[in-house]
Amino acid sequence: MGMAADDAYQTYLARFDSAVGPVAVGATAKLQGRLVRKLSEAEFATKNGEFAKLDTTYRGIIARGDTINDAVVKLWRERRAELLIDDPEPGSP
């Protein structure tokens, strides 16, 4: 089913290093005009858990065609940016 927590963190580190370059955990770097901070494993676990819940909620709202609260979208996009997730958004072609 889901990826093991350690595997998910290692995947995040690989994504970060690929997109930003080698940066120490806790340090910030610039990516596409904005600052991103390399998360520790504990920070990643917290933010990844928040994102997973938000993602399930967000995709459910999209699938049902319900009206979505702008705050939910904003937080969902912030977590995606922090985790360097760049998959297409739900409903995108």
CA-CA distance, 80 to 88, in Å (whole number)? 11
Q: Which residue has the higher pLDDT, 89 or 27?
A: 27
Residue 87 inside a domain? The answer is no
Residue 91 inside a domain? The answer is no
In the prediction, which pLDDT does 86 show? 83
Q: Which domain holds residue 41?
A: 5-82
CA-CA distance, 15 to 91, in Å (whole number)? 24
Question: What digits encode the pLDDT tens for the residues 34-46?
Answer: 899 999 999 999 9
Residue 45 inside a domain? The answer is yes
Residue 92 inside a domain? The answer is no
Domain count, the chain: 1
Q: What angle do CA 31, 6, 10 make, to 5 degrees?
A: 35
CA count, 13 A, side-chain hemisphere, 74: 3
Give the 3-state secondary structure of residue 31.
strand
Question: What digits encode the pLDDT tens for the residues 38-79?
Answer: 999 999 999 999 999 999 999 999 899 998 889 888 999 889
